[in-house]
Structure 1
Amino acid sequence: MATNSNSGFMNIEKLTGRENYSTWSFAVQAYMQLEDLWQCTEVSPNTDIEIKKDVKAKSKLILLIDPMLYVHIREAKTTKEVWDNLTRAFDDSGLSRKVGLLKDLINTTLETSSCVEDYVNKIMTAAHRLRNIGFKVDDEWLGTLMLAGLPDLYKPMIMAIESSGVQISADLIKTKLLQEIKATETTAYFSNSKHQHQKYNPHHKQGQQKGPRCYNCNKYGHLGKNCWFKKNKTDTKDNNGFIAAFSASTHNDSMHWYIDSGATMHMTMHKDWLEDISTSNVKSIRIADNKVLHVEGCGNVTINVPDEQGSVSKIQVRNVLYVPDLSTNLLSVSKIIKSGCKIEFNESECNIFNQNGQNIAKAGLVSDLYKLITNEKKAQAFPAVVDEDVCLWHQRMGHLNFTDTKKLPSCTTGVKLTPSKEDIKCISCIEAKQTRQSFPSEGSRATELLEVIHSDVCGPMQTASLGGARYFVTFIDDLSRKVFVYPIKSKAEVLEKFNEFKNLVENELNKKIKKLRTDNGKEYINRNFDSYLKKSGILHQTTVPYTPEQNGLSERMNRTIIEKSKCMLFNAQLQNCYCSTGRSSGHGSIYH
């Protein structure tokens, strides 16, 4: 029975040079092994049978080479000579080759690629070629490099990956990019001088556009000498013209904001809405009916919008141009996205989300335009005097529960809270404080200070604090619930910190510690710690192994401290090193 051995032969790309030698040699080796001819590339033929087999192998090998490369093998007599000549000519694993491939790998970005698939393919291909020539490419480094090549628009996605705590790998980031970035690619619209709407995709590059590329405006479909933007520049010497989709004569609404995908800047006609007014670098803007409007300044505007609870929320829009002759206040889609926010359009409304995924503003569809929904009474500017809302004080107090937060006006001086509904929700608290159900327990409480001290070590943290600490140890008095927190670099410092704590509290209260209650961690169960407790006359109580519920007071305090740190980290969008309890020296105390 004859088999068609040419099926694999036809699928092998011909050798064209150093660029594809690595993949070509790998494929050819597999094919020659399949045909039982690979040994011909390793040894020269001796017998008649081997000579006949070598002729067959040499013929197949030559047919897999581009004719332009025949000059390298024309004098070769055997398959082995052909293979050796090709290896010497194209198997470049020297320093220059490594530097070139590494340069290609580092310089590849999403903005210089035609699409996300092309970007990922360039990175993976360059890494594969480096590995083929013996250069070690770490998997975590490769995944991080993929993230480094993304524009600032995807910074929130990078922060989300960092906060998730997952191990970075090339496969993980590749899957993330192909799923999330491809899913968020949306089509926007812009207006040209003839009021024709054309689809615009930010990831489209030259290979996907029609027509030549203009060197003047960097767009496709015309040459520089015919560029509309160049021909329609104002006769004045100002070259800072920007395009807006609205026409001054077709739409008039001076009291509301409209979401405009055709505007390159935020713009308003109200000077009294602006704060921190300064001179603008942009001197004029050009609107859709080809009219040029003068820009007289730039500043920030605070807009009042209703939140999901029905109360007023304030958002600040920066770098807003003051254009007196403008007929409509415009919010630029491109500027909103560059600030780190995300916009979603549908048939009836438009939603704006901040970097934490919170819906901060909404626009309704009115006469085929997206009008921002604002608080009608306070839409112009920031009110002169306002009371602090509950959510702000909730964040200031380290995300204290709302029941106790609402008690602040009655137990403090100078705190005023605006009325709010009972169903206030904090997204940071929901994300950071999720836990399983509590462990039911019963027990007694100490009757005097220092009678029982609870202790536990929390860590290691994923990221070290600014002082280098990866753990912290707590000491809690059972009666007063006063908590002492000591950041430590390793668990070996626990005995040192307990001695420091013991000397401090016993000196302040003129009392002795009676009992120390901990888990069975090695930092507590060791010869030095046991000897110290016996010398001090302190009874050591330990929990049942693998039962942290029996040391619930310390465990719950660890959770409280971590939750407060994580909530403030999520809310302020800080780096992980600020989520630690502090530096490695000194101590802190809190009340619970």
Structure 2
Amino acid sequence: MYQAKTARNKTLLMRRLVNHKLRGGISVSEHTSQFQDLVNQLSTTGWVLKDEEQAILLLSSLPDSWETLVVTLSNSAPNGKVTMQMVTDALMNEEARRKEAGTEQSYAFVSETNRRGGGRNGGRSRGRGRGQGQNRGNSQVRGRSQERGMSCENNTWFEGYCNYCGNYGHRKRDCRKFLQEQPQTSQNTSQEDGVTMVSLSSDACLVTHGEQEYLHVGTHDVEWVIDTAASFHATPHQHLFTSYKSGDFGAVKMGNTSFSKIVSIGDVHITTNVGCALVLKDVRHVPDLRLNLISGTALDQQGYLNRFKEGTWKLSKGSLVVARGHICGTLYKTHAKLCHPSLNAVEEEISPNLWHWRLVHLSVKGLTTLVRKERISMGKGVALDPCEHCLFGKQHRVSFSSTRRNHSELLSLVHSDVCGPIEEESLGGSRYFVTFIDDASRKVWAYCLKSKDQVFDRFRLFHAMVETETGKKLKCLRSDNGGEYTSREFSAYCAAYGIRHEKTVPRTPQHNGVAERMNRTIMEKVRCMLSMAKLPKPLWGEAVLTACYLINRSPSVPLNFEVREKKWSRRDVSYSHLKVFGCKAFAHVSKELRQKLDLKSNPCIFIGYGDEEFGYRLWDPEVKKVVRSRDVVFHENEFHGCVPIIRQQHTP
């Protein structure tokens, strides 16, 4: 009949091929054999279908109950191209799995109507006769259209066979025979906000969000479920987030007919079951969900490739395999664990004590100011546990009152003082450090010195830097009468640049109280830092520079609790990169410095921030030197303890 290469024969064969559907009671092998016969007949007419076209037509012949497989294959196809071999293998595997499971349906469906009323099922009219009415909202299609199985969703015929009764023209979920023979089915219809729900299983359900988005949700709270149909990642666990933004982000409809709000959006850092770090972006926090959900669509948008084959899932980026999973029932699952708790950024999980340590034992008043100005976030209140390291480093006599006036213009007055000698040499052989404090902003600069005669060189560097940075002239320097400040070259330099040099009265350090108090504050913090991290004294130089770095990012009482760095630079200050001094740090070893079997991470000790250079400063206890790296993983609650020290050059 179809040997003639006429347009009519081609049309008839193509129509039969398009309308060929997988029906109940027919095996996959029979279905594919019939499909291939039609393709061969079409070929005899001169119309040869490409392999990809055949694969797409075969996928189109599957009923709705196979939609998960269709989506999975579509998303995992290399370069978006499916092949007949890929499709037939997947169909055979799915048929075998369904026979073993003894069921073809393990989801409950939630259909959400268009809330604007402009889409399908949006109004309240009802159709009659052959179903040509508008059929919107709570319509009831009557007459011959209902008897012959016309779909009530869109008022058009379903061109396929029912998987339950075998009749043509309707789906299994619309089959009257199926619905009548399911007395144990929990069928709940809720008209609230135009949502209709039919619960067929207690293991999983579909949850809709907005108009089109939906999620698969299971009942286990350990694994992560991979769903290529989900529009976004979701989790019920607040402590997983590393960034957290609360707000009103809509709601989802749960399988038990209740609503659950999306209370926040943030990022989640996890370590996959193959050991790779994976950042899930824009994860929705839905407290009433029972499972962590990974969206395949969202991963695709991040540049990852999802591959589903023979009951396994593989996530890759380029040649790197990021994660693996396996099929469990009808869901693909994977195991992953949260990255180290120090990454956690949820408010109640970042305790005031941790911020107290990060900011080198900042006072309660200082922490309260940063919280009030929304620079950092923590729990319900700033209540610190008793810190014995603060007593070891800070205990002092009751202070005297001060009535001095602050300057308002940057560099109008700079205070300076030298602290030392320190009983232990630093890593770079220093025994002193000098500080310069701008009176208007109270920002402090510190330089480590091997001897006091280096003060003049450091002052010249400081002078050139601050004038270039601010565009203002240094007008006055206040110091004590130490020989390092009264040398002939120091006086000549001040005279040449028009800097007024104020010297205090001998044996009256109160006249230079700002610099004296700053040196005391720095040394108090240094003692606390070394005590808490159990680090040896030669690391005092690194501790001094780190203390100054963090003092500049802390509120100042003379400035009415403004932050020094913000007052100086007129820019907001970031705190997200701060870590606890002396904690364990694992630096990434670049491929140029390692061989194939060498470890990719090097355990170090965190000792500071790069002020004039990028990256964190780390002490490598194995090679006994300071290294810099930007690719570091921190364990802020763990410390190496006392480590041997060998002094080196080019360090404080």
Query: Shorter-chain TM-score: which interval?
Result: 0.3 to 0.5
TM-score, structure 2 as length reference: 0.30
TM-score, structure 1 as length reference: 0.33
**Between structures 1 and 2, the one with greater helix share:** 1
